[in-house]
Amino acid sequence: MSGPWVEKYRPQKLEDIVGQKQIITRLEKYIGEGSMPNLMFTGPAGVGKTTTALALAKSILGEYWRNNFLELNASDARGIDTVRNDIKSFCRLKPVGAPFRIIFLDEVDNMTKDAQHALRREMEMYTKTASFILSCNYSSKIIDPIQSRCAIFRFAPIKGEEIKERLQFICESEGFEADDKGLETIVYFAEGDMRKALNVLQAAASEGEAITEESVYEVVSKAKPQDIANMINKALMGDFLGARTLLRETMVLQGTSGEDMVTQIYQEVSKRVVEGKMEPDFYIDLINSIADCDFRIREGANPRIQLEALLTKFI
Amino acid sequence: MLWTDKYRPQTLDEVVGNNKEKKIILDWVDNWKKGNPQQPLLLVGPPGIGKTTLALVIAKEFSEYIELNASDKRSQDVIKNTIGESSSTRSLFGDEYKLIIMDEVDGIHGTNDRGGVRAIGEIIKNSKHPMILIANDFYSKRLQSIKPKCTVIKMAKVRSPSIRKALKEIAAKEEIKANPKALDLISKKSNGDMRSAINTLQALADKDEVLEPRDVENLRTKDDRSDIFNAITGVLKSKNPQHVRDALRVDEDPTLVMEYIAENIPREYTNKDEIKKAYENIAKADLYFGRAQSSRNYGYWRYASDFMGIGVSSSKKETYKKFTKIQTPTIFTLMGRNRGKRNLRDGIAEKMSKKMHISHSIAISMFPYLEIMFKNDELAWEISDFLELEDNEIKRFRSKKIPKKVINKMEKQKAQMRVEERDRRFEELQNQMMAEAQEVVEEEVKEEELPFEIPGIEDELPEEETVEEEVVDEEVKEEEKEEKPKKKTDKQVSLFSF
């Protein structure tokens, strides 16, 4: 009765966090101390960076954690000035009922270099009253001065076994059936991403039947925009303009991110080569282009332009 | 569709201005038709006054025409191969003349188009067909040898009242409401360039709003720098690096220019390998714009500019001999048309981001799963309730409304759960307090063995209690407030009765 399971089953205590045992053991040492170094959590999506930050804050700050905890999403469309102002007005006050205050900044790797330098100054300014927890997907996109001011924790993708255990636990709590094969299929698609695993699980469960391999496949294929396959077909037939229009519509209307588009294109072509519908030589040429495109997008190029260029490789 | 194309004059009468010159041209056409060969026409004048339009109108008077656009690599061979042959051989059917149109003759560049001017001279000499040459700059060195062999027609800028009249007609046909003063301002700012005036009108026009002078005021007066459309034409229609560089010297955001070039590559280029090559150059340009942005090293722009300019222009084997309209990037219209949808999407993402500690992009990546979950009425209600979604936001995930029956049932269930939760918490709190009271008492007993410290303890005790009171206020619902004093006395009794 509380909406999305990703939120309902978010572990509240450090010891409940799935996977990342070594990291948790180290972090637990900060509880009860009068101060904590700045931390940086890096790792792919859905492996528990935010959950760990929230749980750690609750353990350290205790009852009044809400008053002493500031959560900011650095990647969303607000400027560094807003972020800085929020940090400033938050840090100006002394911690109440807690040893210090904690600022959690999500997706720092999407901040520009300038914004990161500004952030670095904020981090230096309030060392006495506040500690920062930064999270990012790629620490390589964080400027060195910030990295050197943080204790860096690398979060690995969650092991399949551990995801499966968690899924089983949820199935039991929610009281519905799931067969082994079904759960394993979810684990396979999740690729170590707990958020994705729970989303697939809840979507599959929402159909009211027991969770099986088929029901999971159905969810996964439904959740994947059909447009990607159409777009690739159009491009392969030489209709570049048509394919480009589909690409733009998918990105603008559905808001699919560049990274997601790359992943879906990759999955689609790799399915085709495995099923024998695409020549391995051609496939490898495409992979070369897809990998290039992926790298460039993460480096900060315009995803749509890069994907349009990628589409020309299909014609 | 570009209005400059849609409303391009179809007859000589419709061409605005230059009446004397039109008369000469008419005579020229008549003479050809009577089988009376004439010198080629050389139309000279600033851009946007209707030179190409005139040529195209004349072309209708002949059975066929060949158009060679500017900025090709006009080596002697190219010109001879494309024009030379057709200019010296007459059509099989006797009197059928082919009109040869050569645009931007003064764009021929010295070193790269070695012999280009000479070749044109030869063609003029040998040609048995009517020929129209078009150029911008009357005093260009490249025209010096050509001018004596042609009938030169100098065309003037279009007067601003004529431009205003044309704008008014277009506005009426397009059902655009415009303040006459705004149109007047556009026609004056266009500096005699009809094409730029019409493009400006199209760019500013909005079906639902009246065009006012203030919309026009911050427009730059059109100067001699080429506008964005010319820049794109330069890149796509030329293979001459110098010409491409010149064309790209526009006062526009370079990434916007890149969008325009990218948009029009597959419209102009039809060869697949050329599209691939050209787009790869666009991707590289984009990469360097990105690198410039993130490193704040705008020196990288020059590489980006070369990739999208010379890189794209040299991706074609030869220039295409056709008219292709330069189109505004459809991505802009797509984004504009769907602003409402995008705002809705971002609104939902913002709510999810607040409630679920995720960024907008992760929130949006969850939409497909939500669409599946929302097929289930009860789950749809649950999630909407959790995220506090409005009706129109729910509609993003399911077309049908959540049935009233389900809503009522779920709301009742929620109220029930709230009561249970409250009772549970209350019990918890009570137990906790009892335990704490016990602790304090035990402590007190221990401390009593050292009587001199008792005053200190008494100081502490009330403090501890106030803290507890705060917690109680926060966590216990208002209805329970009445019960609180009783509890407190209970505790106080237990505290001091020892």
pLDDT in tens, A10-33: 999 999 999 999 999 999 988 888
Give residue-wise pLDDT tens across range B164-206: 999 999 988 888 888 888 888 888 888 888 888 887 787 777 7
Q: What are phi and psi of A105, to 5 degrees?
A: -115, 120
Confidence of residue B489 (pLDDT cuts 50, 70, 90): very low
Please report which confidence band the pLDDT of residue B78 belongs to, taking 50, 70 and 90 as the band edges: low
Residue of A nearest to B389 (CA): A3
Whether the predicted pLDDT of B71 surpasses 80? no
| Averaged pLDDT, B209-229 | 65
Contact A244 B266 (CB under 8 A): yes
| pTM metric for this prediction | 0.60
Most confident listed range (B72-76, B333-337, B345-349)? B345-349
Residue located via tokens 């796509």: B236
CB < 8 Å to A301, chain B:
283, 286-287, 289-290
Number of neighbouring beta carbons within 10 Å of residue B241: 15
CA-nearest residue to B396 within chain A is A254
Q: Tell me, what's the ipTM?
A: 0.87
Tokens of A35: 């101060």
Tell me the mean pLDDT in the region B462-467.
44
For residues B236 and B498, which has the higher predicted lDDT (pLDDT)? B236
Say what the pLDDT of residue B463 is: 44
Range from B12-26, B208-222, B264-278 carrying the lowest mean pLDDT: B208-222
| Cβ-proximal residues to B113 (8 Å cutoff; 6+ apart), any chain | B73, B74, B75, B240
**How far is C-alpha B347 from the geometric centre of its chain's CA atoms?**
22
Mean pLDDT of B96-103: 78
Of B55 and A112, more confident: B55
Torsion, Cα of B295, B300, B301, B303 (10° steps): -150
What is the per-residue pLDDT for B472? 43
Residue segments in chain A with a per-residue pLDDT below the cut of 50: none
A108: closest chain B residue by CA: B359
pLDDT higher than 50, residue B471: no
pLDDT at A127: 80
Query: How many helices (DSSP H) and strands (DSSP E) are in chain A?
Result: 15, 5
The mean pLDDT value of chain B amounts to: 78
CA B487 to chain centre: 67
Contacts of A307 (CB under 8 A, 6+ apart): A247, A251, A258, A261, A262, A265, A293
From the candidates A7, A8, A285, which should be mutated to test the interface with B, based on the most B CB atoms within 10 A? Answer: A7
**Could you count the other beta carbons within 10 Å of the beta carbon of residue A64?**
15
Per-residue pLDDT averaged across B65-82, rounded? 58
Of B364, B376, B385, the CB nearest to A255: B364
In which band, very low, low, confident or very high, does the pLDDT at B484 lie, cut at 50, 70 and 90?
very low
pLDDT, one tens digit per residue, over B369-409 is: 999 999 999 999 999 999 999 999 999 999 888 999 999 99
Does pLDDT of B154 surpass 60? Answer: yes
* Whether A300 and B331 lie within 8 Å, measured CB to CB: no
Q: What is the pLDDT of residue A225?
A: 67
Contact B386 A3 (CB under 8 A): yes
pLDDT bracket for residue B240 (50, 70, 90): confident
- In which band, very low, low, confident or very high, does the pLDDT at B496 lie, cut at 50, 70 and 90? very low
